[in-house]
Amino acid sequence: METNTLQTENSQAYQLEFKGQGAEYFGILIVNAILIGITFGIYYPWARAKQLQYVYSHTTLNNESFHFSGTGAEMFKGFIKLIGMYILFLIVIVLFTQFVGSPILTGIIVYLLLFAIIPILIHGSLRYRMSRTSYRGIRFGYRGDRNELAMQFFKDLLLSIVTLGVYSSWLQMNLRAYTHRHFRYGNVSFSNEARGADYFWMVLKGSLLTLVTLGIYSFWLQKDIFNYYIHNMKLAQGDQNIEFESTATGGAFFKLMLTNVLMIIFTLGIAKAWVDMRTLKFVFSNIRMKGDIDLTAISQTEEEYKDALGEDAVDFFNIDII
């Protein structure tokens, strides 16, 4: 491992690693699959908890692992609520169609409703996921305000529609910056300086180069985006800080993705477990942390939040947030 050359007197050493192994992870996935089959799907939330627990507990910082304390029971309850809401949603749509009788208007209303719940789901999901994540017994947390997030989201969404999608870069980065700024790890707060303009030009340039190079540049674009994300994260505790840098290169991204695709194709998907593990290993081994926050002197500040509705919904709709 590379050592920090910019050591100040209080600077700490941080080492982020992912220690998951394909074979172990495969074992978990296969047992999950069988239990989901035997229970006709009811085991799914427990399977998901098991899977998340494995990934979290095999992510270590200074040899100490992270922990996901969400349970299958919590996510099952959330799922029941989700089904209930879905049925309610369908009833509203059916009634609405009966009264209005215009399929186009109904379609518009359905889309508006769906968009309207996105920020609510993101908020709920982050609160759950963060409060159920811990490190050294100290919980993470999300302190964002739901209405504030929703207002920002709708404003950006409207601008994205008006600008025919151009503004969606701002939408994504504003969402990222807002949510990250409200993350906590005990009494450590997060910040994020991601800006729509930076992202927009980066993606525009990258996409043009991808076209010119017949797709080859896409791996370097991936690298740029990844590095931008990592570079913009910061942690602060009082006047102490931790900064993040990425060491990922376009070539390494190219190698990772090419091998992943080949592994999936030649094993007919069975290698998915190994692919997931090596991808996470790649991600975590390419993050460098620098700073002077003492990780053994953090105090608990965040409360537990056990409502998994948002988490389930985000999983259900396949929305990637973190």
Partner 1 sequence: MEQPQFNGLYFDGQSSQAQPVTLILHEQQQILYFQLPSGQTQQWDFADTAVFDGPGQLEIRSKSDSAVIIRLELSKAQKQVIHRQLSRNNWHFRFAQLGLVKIIIIALLFFSGLIASYFWLLPPLAEKAVDWLPNSIDQQIGDTFFASIVDQQTIDQQRSVALNNFAAELKLRNQIPLHFNVVRSSDVNAFALPNGEIVVYTGLLRHIKTPAQLVALLGHEVSHVNERHSMKLLSRNLAGYMVISLLIGDVSGITAVLTDNAQQLQQLSYSRSNEQQADELGFQILLDNKQAPKGMSELFGILKKQEFTQIPELLSSHPLTNSRIANIQKKQARFANRQPEPNQKLEQWFEVLVK
Where along the sequence are the contacts to partner 1 (CB under 8 A)?
19-20, 27-28, 31-32, 34-35, 37-38, 41, 43, 46, 50, 53-54, 57-58, 60, 64-65, 67, 69, 134-139, 186, 295-300, 304
Minimum distance of partner 1 from residue 151's CB (angstroms): 33
Query: Is the CB of 46 or the CB of 167 nearer to partner 1?
Result: 46
Minimum distance of partner 1 from residue 28's CB (angstroms): 8
Residue 277: phi and psi, rounded to 5, are -65, -45
Rounded Cα distance between 95 and 128, Å, is: 33
Six-digit token pair at 103? 């399929």
3-state DSSP call for residue 126?
helix
Do 206 and 221 touch, CB atoms closer than 8 A? Answer: yes
Minimum distance of partner 1 from residue 11's CB (angstroms): 18
Rounded Cα distance between 57 and 135, Å, is: 9
Six-digit token pair at 98? 């009966």
CA torsion, ordered 269, 271, 272, 275, to nearest 10 deg: -140
Minimum distance of partner 1 from residue 179's CB (angstroms): 23
Query: Is the CB of 24 or the CB of 198 nearer to partner 1?
Result: 24
Query: Is the CB of 35 or the CB of 321 nearer to partner 1?
Result: 35
Question: 18-44 burial, b if ≥16 CB within 10 A, otherwise e?
Answer: bebebeebbebbeebeeebeeeeeebb
Minimum distance of partner 1 from residue 64's CB (angstroms): 8
Minimum distance of partner 1 from residue 219's CB (angstroms): 29
Task: Look at residues 208, 260, 270 and name the one whose alpha carbon lies nearest to residue 25.
Answer: 270
3-state DSSP call for residue 237?
strand
Angle between helices 22-38 and 44-57 (to 10 degrees): 170
Amino acid present at 144? G
Query: Is the CB of 4 or the CB of 65 nearer to partner 1?
Result: 65
Minimum distance of partner 1 from residue 189's CB (angstroms): 15
Do 198 and 172 touch, CB atoms closer than 8 A? Answer: no
Query: Is the CB of 49 or the CB of 121 nearer to partner 1?
Result: 49
Query: Is the CB of 128 or the CB of 178 nearer to partner 1?
Result: 128
| Radius of gyration of the chain from its Cα atoms, rounded to whole angstroms | 21
Query: Is the CB of 52 or the CB of 149 nearer to partner 1?
Result: 52
Query: Is the CB of 20 or the CB of 291 nearer to partner 1?
Result: 20
Six-digit token pair at 141? 């947390």
